[in-house]
Homo-oligomer: A and B are copies of this chain.
Amino acid sequence: MKVSDHADKPCPVAKATGQVGDTWTLLILRNALLGARQFDDFQRQLGLTRHVLAQRLRSLVEMDILKRVPARPGSTRLAYQLTSKGRDLQPVILALANWSNKWLFDDKPLPLSYHHKDCAQATQPTMCCSECGGELHAGNTAMTMGPQVANIVDQCEHPQDAENLGYPVAFIARAK
């Protein structure tokens, strides 16, 4: 079974990795968020082959994460610009960067960190609950399955049949 087959599974993470979970795509998006716009920008900065870059950009455009716009008004030269959907991926990059800054640099000074313009301070991006504002982490967060998935699980004779969903279902609660 291929990775890409997981994009069809009823799981938001699988669908998301199907679109952006690829090895180069997250780096392309990082650079787009930092201001890279043109084919050759991405190519020079990332050093990936032009073949693979063309492939990735094409599929990012198809998925409406990037769009092709004139590099300069009136020009036919083009640039790749993040859509709203694409800009909305920034929290993923923030989460990766924050984890990395916490765990991968030991005591060494950090090369890059984040600044929150609204409060004008250095910030550590933190995942919070939209309802109560409390911090979310593996210990206080659970996945719940919607009715569709619950039905699928109920119709399985043997528990392991449910594993063709792609993920372990045993510890997932049902949404009430």
Interface residues in chain A, defined as those with a beta carbon under 8 Å from any beta carbon in chain B:
1, 3, 5-6, 10-17, 19-24, 26-27, 30-31, 33-36, 41, 44-48, 82, 85, 87-105, 109-119, 121-134, 136-149, 160, 163, 165-168, 170-173, 175
Of B19, B30, B125, the residue contacting A13 (CB under 8 A) is B30
Of B10, B34, B96, the residue contacting A143 (CB under 8 A) is B34
Q: Return the chain B residue nearest A20 by Cβ.
A: B96
15 contacts between A and B (CB under 8 A): A11-B111, A13-B30, A14-B30, A17-B96, A33-B138, A35-B168, A45-B163, A91-B136, A110-B146, A116-B132, A118-B134, A119-B132, A121-B129, A123-B136, A128-B128
A137/B1 in contact, CB under 8 A: no
With a cutoff of 8 Å between Cβ atoms, the chain B residues found around residue A21 in the complex are 21, 23, 26-27, 96
CB distance from A86 to the nearest CB of B (A): 9
A148–B131 alpha-carbon span in the complex (Å): 40
